[in-house]
Structure 1
Amino acid sequence: MSDQLAPTEPALTGGGASTPPGGRGGLRAFLSDVNRRRTWYADALTTLIAIILAFLVGAVLMIISDPAVISQYAYLFTAPELPLGASWEKVSGAYSALVAGSIGGLRPLAETTAQAAPLICAGLGVALAFRAGLFNIGAQGQAVVGAIVAAWVGFSITGIWYLALLLAIIGGFLAGALWGGIAGFLKARFGAHEVIVTIMLNYIASGLLAWLLTTTAFQRPGRTDPISPIIDWFATMPRIEGTRLHLGFFLAVLAAVGMWWLLDRSTLGFSIRAVGANPHAAATAGISVARTTVLTMMIAGGLGGLAGAQAALAPGAGGTAVPLSAGLVGTVGFDAITVALLGRSKPGGVVFAGLLFGALKAGGLSMQSVAQTPLTLTVVLQALIVLFVAAPALVRTVAPFITLLLRPAGRRGAPA
C-alpha cells in the first residue's frame, strides 16, 4: 500500500522529488497529526456532553412521570425543600441503582459484559459498512441466521468439547457473512439499494426462523411449541464460574482489534476507506468498487452473525444456553445501529458504546426493582444519547452551561 501512495507524496507536500525531514513535509505531517488529535478530542467531548444531556433529560422525565414527586411541587414557593428533596431522592435513587446494577461489583460487571458482547459485534458490522459508505440495516437478520446455524450446530454436535463450540462460532459467522453477502452482491451487480435489501432480508430471516422452529430438525422432541432442543453444554461459551462473564466478550474485543487492523493496516481496509470517501475516485484509482462492496458486506454480515452466535451460545442465568426461539436475538441488530453511531464507526468507539448500552441494559433491571423506575427509561436514554450525538450544533450550544454546572462551586464565578 505504501508503494501505491509514494508517487503522490511530492504533490501533497508541494515539494519536488523529495522533502527533507523537518521541512514543509514534516510541518504538514505535524499539523495533520494535530488536527487528528483535535478531532478526536472534539468527538470525545461531544459524546461526553451528549451522555450528560441524555441523563439530565432522563432525570426530568423521571420527575414528571412520578405522581408522588409532582404532587410536592404544589409547595414549590412555600416549602421548596419538599419538591426539590423529592426530586433529588427520586433521581439519585434511580441512577444509584443503575450504577450499582451495572458496575457495582463483579457480578454486575459480568452482566454488563454479557449484555455488551453481542452489541459490540453487531455494532462493528454496522460501523464497517458505514466506513465503506454503506448503510447496513440488516444486522438483525444477520444475527438471526447466525443464531440459527450456531444453535443447530450446538444441539446437533454433542459431547465433543474441542469441536462443538468452534464449529458453532464459525458457522454463525459464515451464515451472517452469506446473508450480508447477498445484499452486497445485489448492490454491486444490480445497483439495488442496500437499505431496502437488508430490511427485506431481516423479514426473511425472521420468517425463516419461525418456519424452522416448526420442523422436526429444530423442534424439541416431545414439544409442539416453537422451541429448539437444548444446546449441548460443550457448545456453550466458557464463563467464569458464578458470573456471566464469558468467552463471547473477549471475542467481541478481539473482533474490534481485528477491525482496527483491517481498516488501518491492510490493503482491503484502504480500499474500504477509499470507496467510502469517494467511490468514483476510488474506481478511477483502480480499486474495484464492486468487489470492495461485496467483501465489506460479507465481513459486516459475519460480525452480525457472530452477534447472533453469542446470543445462542452464551450461558444463561442457570449456566446453560437459552434454547433457540423467535425472541432469542431480541433487537440486537437494531440496537447495533445506535452503537455504531455513538461509536462514530471507530472500533474503539464501538466497544465503548457497546459497554455503555450493555451497562444500561444490565442496570435497568436494578433500577426498576430498587427505585421503581420503568425499564423502558434505559431505552429512552439510549435514544437520547444518539439524538444528541447526531446534533453536534446543539451540543456545542449547551456545552458552556454543562461546563458551568460541572465546575466546582467556588470557581463558577471565575472567567472561563
Structure 2
Amino acid sequence: MSDKTPQDPLEQAESPSPVPAPATEQPPAEAPDGADSVLRKIFTGSGMVSVLAVLLALIIGGLLIASTDQRVEATAGYLFARPADFFGAVWSAATRSYVALFQGSVFNPRGSGLAGQIAPLMETLTIATPLITAGLGVALAFRAGLFNIGAQGQIIIAGILASWVGFALHLPLGLHLLLVLVAGVVGGAIWGGIVGLLKARTGAHEVIVTIMFNYIALYLVRYLLDTPAFQRPGETTPISPILDATAVYPQIFGSQYRLHLGFLLAIAATVFVWWLLNRSTIGFEFRAVGANPKASLTAGINVSRATVLVMAIAGGLAGLSGVAQVAGTEKVLTDGVAATYGFDAITVALLGRSSPWGTFAAGVLFGAFRAGAVQMQIQTGTPIDIVLVVQSLIVLFIAAPPLVRAVFGLNPRKKKPATAGTSRKAASTGGAA
C-alpha cells in the first residue's frame, strides 16, 4: 500500500502543469452607443456623487455670495495684514444667506407658534409636488432608455383638460375632483404616448419629437385662452374661469397652508414607480429594454409596446403635475401653468439618479431652494438668481462625476485583472458566468 493520500481534485486543478494552459479570454461585450453610454453613466452613477455635487455647488454658491458682500470687499483691502477678518467675513456672508434660505424653506424659529414655524416646510412641499411627479416621468422614461424632455408639454395638456373639466362641468364633490384628476392624467398620458408611438413605428427620435410637442402644447393653450370656451367672461387677459370648489384639491392641514392633496398623490406616485420598476413584470421589461433593446427583442420582449407604454406612463405622471397646478395651487388655467416645472424635472431626475425615491428627495430639495430664495433675499439682500446658479452648478457636477470625485479625492476602485491561476480555478469549480 502506498503512504500517499489521494490528492483533492481541486488541488489537482490548482497545481501547476508542465504546459500551462492559456487562460481563456471572454469576448469583449459590445459597447453601447456613445450618447446612450454617457447618459446612462450620468443618470445611474453613485448616489454619493449626487450628495457631494450638491455640497460642492453650495460651497461655490457661498463664495459667489461672499464676492458681492460689502464687508468682504472692505476686508479684502487688507487681506495680507489681517487675513482672519477676510475669511471671517466670507464665512459670515455665506452662512447668513444659507441660514435665511433654511428659515424660508424648512423651519423659521421666529414664526408665531408651531404653525408659523413650520409654514416654510409646508410651502416647500407644495412647490415640490409638481417637481416630484414630473421628475418621476422623466426618470421612468430614462430607465427604459428614452430621454423624455416633453414633461413641459405634458403638464400643459393635462392642465388644459383638467381645468376645462373643473370649470365647465358642475358635478358633486368627489366625482368632480376624480374626473379632473383622470382628465389630467389621461391627457398627459396621451401626449406622451403619441411620442412613444412615433418612436416605435417610425423611429423618430423622442428628444426632437418632445421638443416640438412642447411648443405645440404651449401655443395650443395660448390659442384656447383667447377662445370663449376657455377665457373668463369680462376679462381681456388670457385666463380661464376659476375652477369649481368641488374640483379643487383640499388642503391637507387646513386653509392656513397651501399644501394640498397633490402631495399625497406625489408620494403614492413614487411608491407606484418603485413597485413598477422593481416588483412588476412590465417594469422588468422596461429596464431590460433600457439596458439593451436588441437583446430584449431577442429574448421575446415586445420593445415597441414597451416604448409606447413607458412614454404613456411617463406622460401620465407629468400630467399629475398639471393637475396639481390647476386644481391645487393656481385654481385657474393660464399660459404659464407649467412655469418651468417640465424643464426642472429633468434636473430633478438627474439629481435623483433616475430612482423613484432619489427623484422624490431631489424634488423636495429643489422645492426648498425655490421656497427659501425669497426669504433669503429679504433678510440678506442676496439675489434670488443665486439659487438658479446653485441649481445649474448641481447639474454641471452631476454631469461630471470624475470632477466631483477628483475634488473630494474619491478615486473609483479599479477591478484587478484576472490571472491565469484564477481562471483555471474558476473553470475547475464550474464558476463560468
What TM-score do you get using the length of structure 2 for normalisation? 0.80
Report the residue type matching 1:148 in the other structure.
Answer: I
CA distance in 1 between partners of 2:81 and 2:257 (Å): 50
The Cα shift of 1:68 comes to 5.0
Q: How does 1:82-231 map to 2 (within 5 A)?
A: 82-104=85-107, 105-158=117-170, 160-231=172-243
| Aligned counterparts of 2:303 and 2:159: Cα–Cα separation in 1 | 30
Deviations 1:168-226 (A, max 9, x none): 11111000000001110110000000000000000000000000000001000111211
Output aligned runs, 1:200-349, within 5 Å: 200-239=212-251, 240-241=253-254, 242-315=256-329, 321-349=330-358
* Match in the other structure for 1:52: 55
Q: Which residue of 2 aligns with 1:360?
A: 369
User: Larger helix proportion, structure 1 or 2?
Assistant: 1
Structure 1 residue 100 displacement after superposition: 0.7
Instruction: Work out the CA distance in 1 between the residues paired with 2:147 and 2:390.
Output: 23
Contact 2:45–2:353 at 8 Å: present in 1 too?
A: no
Q: Secondary structure at the match of 1:161?
A: coil
Q: Measure how far apart 1:89 and its partner are.
A: 2.3
For 2:312, the aligned partner's letter is M
CA–CA separation in structure 2 for the residues paired with 1:185 and 1:311: 27
Whole-Å separation in 2 of the counterparts to 1:224 and 1:176: 28
**1-side partners of 2:258 and 2:84: how far apart?**
43
SS in 2 for 1:338: helix
Note the alpha carbon deviations across 1:10-49, whole angstroms, 9 max, x for none: xxxxxxxxxxxxxxxxxxxxxxxxxxxxxxx982322221
**Residue matched to 1:28:** none
Q: Distance in 1 between matches of 2:144 and 2:70?
A: 49
Q: CA deviation at 1:71?
A: 3.5
Question: Using a 3 Å threshold, how does the CA distance of structure 1 residues 176 and 265 change in structure 2: closer, same or farther?
Answer: same
Q: Structure 1: how far apart are the matches of 2:77 and 2:246?
A: 61
What is the CA-CA distance between 1:50 and the residue it aligns to? 1.0
After superposing on structure 2, the runs of 4+ consecutive aligned residues of structure 1 that deviate more than 4 Å are none
1:139-169 per-residue CA deviation (whole Å, 9 max, x = no partner) reads: 0000111111111111123362111211111
Q: Which amino acid aligns with 1:155?
A: F
- State the SS of the aligned residue for 1:75: coil
CA separation in 1, counterparts of 2:222 and 2:399? 35
SS of 1:227's partner is: coil
Specify the alignment match of 2:389 in structure 1: 380
Unmatched 5+ stretches in structure 2? 1-43, 108-116, 411-433
Contact 1:235/1:313 (CA < 8 Å) preserved in 2? Answer: yes
SS in 2 for 1:155: helix
Q: What percent of counterpart residues are identical?
A: 54
**Cα deviation 1:229-257 (Å, max 9, x = unaligned):** 01112211111111122111110110010
> What is the deviation of 1:94?
0.5
Match of 1:31 in 2: none
**What is the TM-score when the length of structure 1 is the normalising length?**
0.83
Contact preservation (8 Å) 1:131, 1:273: yes
* 2-structure distance, mates of 1:198, 1:400: 39
Write the letter of the residue equivalent to 1:187. Answer: K
1:325-378 per-position Cα deviation (integer Å, ceiling 9, x unaligned): 111220100000000011111001000100110111111111111111111111
| Secondary structure, aligned partner of 1:170 | helix
In the TM superposition, residue 391 of structure 1 has moved relative to its aligned partner by: 1.4
Aligned partners of 1:66, 1:313: CA distance in 2, in Å?
42
Q: Displacement of 1:75 after TM fit? A: 1.6
Secondary structure, counterpart of 1:382 in structure 2: helix
SS in structure 2 at match of 1:72: helix
- Unmatched segments (≥5 aa) in structure 1: 1-40, 316-320, 402-416
Greater CA drift, 158-167 or 298-307: 158-167
Amino acid at match of 1:100: Q
Number of corresponding residues: 356
Larger Rg: 2
Task: Please tell me whether the aligned partners of residues 107 and 244 of structure 1 are also in contact (alpha carbons under 8 angstroms).
Answer: no
Number of the residue aligned with 1:351: 360
One-letter amino acid of the structure 2 residue matched with residue 178 of structure 1: I
Aligned equivalents of 1:180, 1:159: Cα separation in 2 = 28
- Which residue pairs with 1:20 in the alignment? none
Question: Once the 2 structures are TM-superposed, how far is the Cα of residue 67 of structure 1 from its aligned partner?
Answer: 4.8
